[in-house]
Every structure is written in structure tokens, then in C-alpha cells.
Amino acid sequence: MVRTEFYNPSSLAVALELLDQYRQQAVIVNGGTDVVEKIANGSIDPAAIIYIQGISELKGIGESNGFVRIGGAVTYKEILDSPLCSQFSALKQAVLEVGSPPIRVVGTPAGNLGTAVPAADCNVALMALDAVVVAASKQGERVIRLADLVVGYRKTALAANELIKEIRIPVVPGVNTASAFVKLAKRKAQDIAQVSAGVRLTVEGDVCRDIVVAMGAVNKVTVRAYSFEKLIAGKKVVDGAAAIKDMVPAEVALRSPGNDLFAARPGAKAEREYKEAVIGVVVERAIKKAYAEILGGRKSYGR
């Protein structure tokens, strides 16, 4: 066991300096809900723990240049309380599925993105909302698409000296766009998704003009379902959603040899077959949920 130093930096610059110094030997504690467990069970033994919840530069939620910007240390509870985030129904619905209220007070979406768990609820919602992350290091900043952030099971494209400074979600104005998140789990609360889907839908009349579909717990990474998007784009929303129900897109790669979410273990075949059977239904429900919000918004605006 190595000697572990604990740091509580007061600024982003100090935190990045520490990360640059320790690199692979450091762990970032944000909400701490995942990292603390790993330290306790001995799966990681870091030389430095860098606690970033006290850094004011990572705590804000604001809007500029067409994006809502969520700081890397913003908690789930702060997202639920934010008027700016209320326009993203998929995000709010996913946050309400995360753990329990006490966990949402300390846990953070950025922390979930950093752990790269394919079943993480907010990761799916954020991909559906076409979000990006800003990664910061001592050398500067770079913007990473969510589809490029996770490169494998619990592996990200973040360098050892980088942290997630903020999450940016594009604002799509108007009452003809809405989003939704749907999850299947064994229990109704505080359970990991067996399958989940997030959708952002834009319509003209009853026709799908644009759609983003993301899926969780079907692959070793969160999946952007381009096949579903192509199937419904330009069609009536109800007809497209119905067609999706019986289709498993190639991008899910449930039977791919490279999909190590389904390792050779007892029950793996049945688990994969279950996911194949229900994923289309879950996506269909998410589309209908978003469409219902659009129709409700039209009514409230007298349209």
C-alpha cells in the first residue's frame, strides 16, 4: 500500500497542477460515490486523492453561445433545482433515476461520465441531448463529443492529467422539440438499468424532422443508435416509433465478439437475448414520451 496524500485545492489551476504532477497515481474525488467504494475495497490504491467539490470554477450552471454549461462539480440535486436545466426533460428524468436523494446531493454527472459505466442513466440522457464535455489540463482545454469520450468499458479518452471542466448541452429552441429518458430495471428505484434509452425529438406537424437516440446497458459503451434515427427521420412519428419496436440496430452489436459487456459467464446468453428483445420497445416508449411532451407544449401555447 502506498502512502496516500489528500488534497482539497481551492482553484482549478491548483487542481490541474496536482493532476499534472501525479497523473496515473491520482484519483479525482468529485461526489465520491464510486471512487470511495473502490478505495475501500482495495481495487485502487492512489498516491493522491484530489477533491474538487470546493472549486468554485466547476460549480456553476449558465447559458452562453447556444449552450447550457454545467460545471464539472455540479451535483444531480443542483441540476434538478436549475431553471436552465428544466428544458432538458431527458436529463431531469435520468437524474431522478440516479440512486437516492442523499446520493443525488453529492453525486455528479461529470463523475459518472468519468467512470464510463455503460448503464449510467445520465450518460445516456446526455448523449441523446448531443452534449459535449470540456476537458481541462495544465496544457489547456479541448472539447470532446460524448460519442468519443468513452473508448471502452470504464475507459475514457481523458488523459491522466485531465478532468472534466464542464458539460455543454446545445439549446434547441421552440415547442417542436422535446426529449425523454426511459429505463427498464428489476426494481422501480435505486437500481442499475438493464436497458435504457434517451431521445431528443424535433417535429414538423406529425413528422420527425430530426432525432437523436442513445441507448445504455446494451454494449460496453453508451451507444448512439444511428440506424434508429435513419429509420424514423422524415416519417410520421407514430409510424416510425412502431417500426423501431421490432428492429435491433447494427450499432448495438449485441452479438459482436468485441462487446465484452457479455463475457462468457452463466446467464450471459439469456441476458443478451433479453436486451435484444426489449431495446426496440424501450426506444419506442422514449420517442412517444418526447412526442407527448411536444403535443402538450403545443396545446399550452394555443397551437
pLDDT digits (tens, 9 = 90+) for 172-218: 988 899 999 999 877 655 567 789 999 999 999 999 999 999 999 88
pLDDT digits (tens, 9 = 90+) for 209-247: 999 999 998 888 888 988 889 989 999 999 999 888 777
Do 201 and 284 reside in the same domain of the chain?
Answer: yes
Let me know how long the chain is: 303
Do 30 and 69 reside in the same domain of the chain?
Answer: yes
Residue that terminates a domain, selected from 152, 170, 188: 170
Label residue 262 by pLDDT band (50, 70, 90): low
Q: Domain holding 271: CATH number?
A: 3.30.390.50
Q: Average of pLDDT values for 20-36?
A: 83
For a pLDDT cut of 70, what percent of the chain falls above it? 87
Do 164 and 15 reside in the same domain of the chain?
Answer: yes
Do 165 and 190 reside in the same domain of the chain?
Answer: no
Do 187 and 120 reside in the same domain of the chain?
Answer: no
Do 164 and 27 reside in the same domain of the chain?
Answer: yes
Label residue 92 by pLDDT band (50, 70, 90): very high
Q: What's the mean per-residue pLDDT of the chain?
A: 87
Do 250 and 149 reside in the same domain of the chain?
Answer: no
Domain count, the chain: 2
Q: Domain holding 104: CATH number?
A: 3.30.465.10
Do 79 and 42 reside in the same domain of the chain?
Answer: yes
Per the CB < 8 A criterion, the answer to whether 267 and 274 are in contact is no
* DSSP codes joined into one string, the chain: -PPPEEE--SSHHHHHHHHHHHGGGEEEESS-TTHHHHHHHTS---SEEEE-TT-GGGS-EEEETTEEEEETT--HHHHHH-TGGGG-HHHHHHHTTSS-HHHHHH--HHHHHHHT-TT-HHHHHHHHTT-EEEEEETTEEEEEEHHHHEEETTEES--TT-EEEEEEEE---STTEEEEEEEE-SSSSS---SEEEEEEEEEETTEEEEEEEEEESSSSS-EE-HHHHHHHTTSBHHHHHHHHTT---GGG-TT-TT-TTS-S-TTHHHHHHHHHHHHHHHHHHHHHHHHHHHHHHHHHTT-
pLDDT for the residue 259: 57
Q: What is d(CA 162, CA 215) in angstroms, rounded to the nearest whole number? A: 26
Residue that terminates a domain, selected from 170, 189, 218: 170
Predicted TM-score (pTM) of this structure: 0.89
pLDDT digits (tens, 9 = 90+) for 137-147: 999 999 999 98
Do 153 and 203 reside in the same domain of the chain?
Answer: no
Please tell me the number of Cα atoms within 13 Å of 202 on its side-chain side.
Answer: 10
pLDDT at 250 over 90: no
Label residue 37 by pLDDT band (50, 70, 90): confident
Distances (CA, A) of 93 to 68, 97, 186, 241, 294: 17, 7, 18, 20, 16
pLDDT digits (tens, 9 = 90+) for 110-158: 988 988 887 789 999 999 999 999 999 999 999 999 989 988 888 899 9
Residue that terminates a domain, selected from 138, 170, 202: 170
Q: What is d(CA 232, CA 238) in angstroms, rounded to the nearest whole number? A: 9
Do 119 and 48 reside in the same domain of the chain?
Answer: yes
Do 96 and 241 reside in the same domain of the chain?
Answer: no
Q: State which residues form the domain around 261.
A: 177-300
Per the CB < 8 A criterion, the answer to whether 235 and 207 are in contact is yes
Do 212 and 164 reside in the same domain of the chain?
Answer: no
